[in-house]
Structure 1
């Protein structure tokens, strides 16, 4: 995330002097159970994480209002913040929408016609749901089995994690705007291994088994919602689904990038995050 953070926190740089761009305070907590955060108590849910993060921002760090960004599980936590704390969360940007994508026949039943580009992303979702989701079933049903098997096995963790970073990313990763090279993948896996968080991170699937299955209702907030869609992400939700559930003010699709957009296309993600300023109301 450093390429994203460095850009958002720029101050007194010449290219900002005559523009509407501003510098942001950026707060990036590790999710409970991940990285440098402690393992979670039993039955800990994404709503608990959202509650703790709101407390962190308001009571610990002193922000009356703030904006949220999330992808992957961060998007599910981001939705809980967006929906549950409308007075403090005054804008949200996501690069994954936290609802199970529709199959082609379901899109047809909803009278949703996709562009050629969106149809490509939809097919990636279909293919991954058939041939790339076994890891989620394992972590949702038997997290201790895989967790203990790989707990002290760095090569095993590399195989388990790197496969996702490769198959869910743009085939051009590591070129152009992407900094998602093999070195970055090794850095990510090392973080899991050295913090001994591989097994505790797997629990998030087991503790939130229905997160992907429950259709969302319209959010209980008028805060602006922004969305960036990346072509090679394997979790595709069209604009027609997102708009009626949110106060959608920005939806942009990018031809370059995949699931890990903060590494795979940092400039595009930064552009989406900087759009928040246009719609920010304290």
Structure 2
């Protein structure tokens, strides 16, 4: 049977009934009884405070304009295409320069293609941008089957780039997207010109479980690492659920908009520089991202990616022969010693600001760093 390689034009058009349903659910939220002593809206020590969540929910219900966000997103070319039985949604922003570098942008959880809205205009003079949604994320829903993990997604992305006519391309990634970008280079070193990855200091919380500790630490450095690990341990509750029990959390993320809001908004607070109450991360873009998870029922399907990756035989891989650049946001001196113990990464940039979502928090810093790296290897 001939494989269908059609690129079907796509336009976002959420039915009004879905918006009305969301508004009704937010209006009729069944809130928990307030816990005495937990009135501080900025105290995230036990998770997202109810006072903070209530404010955000009220704005989502009464102030947020999905139609305005939808119109802005629809300014970009989009299509869907089926690879290995799975429907993929892809944003394709062409540069005015026909010979521009094709750049594949890869996001992770709890982001989406919306994460790159502030970055797009900073790059399209020089690059063609391709932004796919991983299986189970955004409009790459519903999942066609189990088994959509890192390696299978990489194969699908390579096929998508082929369908677009990009034989050679560069790749950038954060979070899960870093794994996708790195594995693309490892599997297709003849196609990937270079990879640019963004990390933040929270990665140090995984030292000892995912990454080995740097050698030769001083007593002060050991204490610093221990403090970051302790903070990271408190943040990993969601990760354990995603890795091992996605079917348990999935219904809550699908049936309750407040449950979804709490699950995702907490991460945008604790893993960004100063949180989304400042101009660093626009509140409307945050709620557009969460609305996307809501309307597509992606809360349940996206977390399946974690389970698949945790239980897959093949996982993260890098290609030493493919140039790589790294940008560390909210950086720490131990970050490079952990991620690049042998000094093999030719391009490494440390930034004191930013966090886990640099395209939203520091788009200009990220764009300038990507431009400097890719121009250096062109």
Q: CA deviation at 1:124?
A: 6.9
Structure 2: gaps (5+ residues): 1-115
Please state if 1:7 is matched with 2:111.
Answer: no
Pairing partner for 1:111 from 203, 211, 216: 216
Q: CA deviation at 1:148?
A: 1.0
Please state if 1:200 is matched with 2:200.
Answer: no
Contact 2:206 2:232 in 1 (8 A): no
1:13 equivalent in structure 2: none
Instruction: Give the TM-score, by structure 1 length.
Output: 0.80
Contact 2:182 2:316 in 1 (8 A): no
2:155 equivalent in structure 1: 51
CA distance in 1, matches of 2:164, 2:314: 33
CA distance in 2, matches of 1:164, 1:44: 24
Q: CA deviation at 1:44?
A: 1.9
2:85 equivalent in structure 1: none
Please state if 1:263 is matched with 2:360.
Answer: yes
Pairing partner for 1:227 from 326, 329, 332: 326
| Secondary structure class of the residue paired with 2:349 | strand
CA distance in 1, matches of 2:344, 2:167: 21
Structure 1: gaps (5+ residues): 11-22
Q: CA deviation at 1:238?
A: 2.4
Runs ≥4 in structure 1, deviation > 6 angstroms?
97-100, 113-116, 213-217
Instruction: Give the TM-score, by structure 2 length.
Output: 0.61
Q: In 2 relative to 1, CA 246–52 (structure 1 residues): closer, same or farther, beyond 3 Å?
A: farther
Q: CA deviation at 1:226?
A: 0.4
Q: CA deviation at 1:53?
A: 0.5
1:181 equivalent in structure 2: 282
Contact 1:71 1:94 in 2 (8 A): yes
Q: CA deviation at 1:102?
A: 2.1
Give a deviation string over 1:157-191, Cα, whole Å, max 9, x none. 00110001111111165546x2x133222111101
Contact 2:327 2:349 in 1 (8 A): yes
1:164 equivalent in structure 2: 267
Contact 1:232 1:259 in 2 (8 A): no
CA distance in 2, matches of 1:112, 1:203: 37
| Secondary structure class of the residue paired with 1:228 | strand
CA distance in 1, matches of 2:291, 2:261: 8
Contact 1:4 1:266 in 2 (8 A): yes
RMSD in angstroms over aligned alpha carbons? 3.4
Contact 2:250 2:299 in 1 (8 A): yes
Q: In 2 relative to 1, CA 188–220 (structure 1 residues): closer, same or farther, beyond 3 Å?
A: closer
State the structure with bigger RCO (CA 8 A, min sep 6), 1 or 2. Answer: 1
2:232 equivalent in structure 1: 129
Q: In 2 relative to 1, CA 215–32 (structure 1 residues): closer, same or farther, beyond 3 Å?
A: closer
Contact 2:172 2:195 in 1 (8 A): yes
State the number of aligned residues.
Answer: 259
Give a deviation string over 1:220-256, Cα, whole Å, max 9, x none. 44121000001179xx972234446795221111111
| Secondary structure class of the residue paired with 1:238 | helix
